[in-house]
Amino acid sequence: MVQSTAKDVDAYLAEVPEERREALTRLRRLCQAELGGFREAMAYGMPVYERGGTAEIAFASQKQYISVYLMRGDVREAFEERLAGQDMGKGCLRFRRPESVDFELVRDLLRATAAAPGEAC
């Protein structure tokens, strides 16, 4: 599933492959817990978390992995060492298997994102 047409995050989670649903639901709960003041929405076919109308975090079930999108360059730079051994795209942290999602790292990235506004790419 690359781009969903789901109208909300509940519908999105209902349509993801069952083997990924638990990990994605846990990512959602983590985003909801750590991103106070952010609005959960659907954009670009995936769940996004917006502050002031700008998406700063998103996650998705892609064809071959689960993605966490870090749309803040300052946060990626601050975590450069911890992200060095991870499967990363330009702004995308990829987990090839649901059981490989590093929820502690994601939590820390979410906390850093929530701590202060910054420019999203």
Neighbours of 119 (CB within 10 A): 10
The class that CATH gives domain 9-115 is: alpha beta
Residues making up the chain, counted from first to last: 121
Would you state the structure tokens that stand for residue 89, as one six-digit string? Answer: 């795209």
pTM of the model: 0.92
Cα separation, 19 vs 2, whole angstroms: 16
Where along the chain do its domains lie?
9-115
pLDDT tens figures, 63-109: 999 999 999 999 999 999 999 989 998 889 999 999 999 999 999 99
Rounded CA gap, 117 and 121, in Å?
A: 13
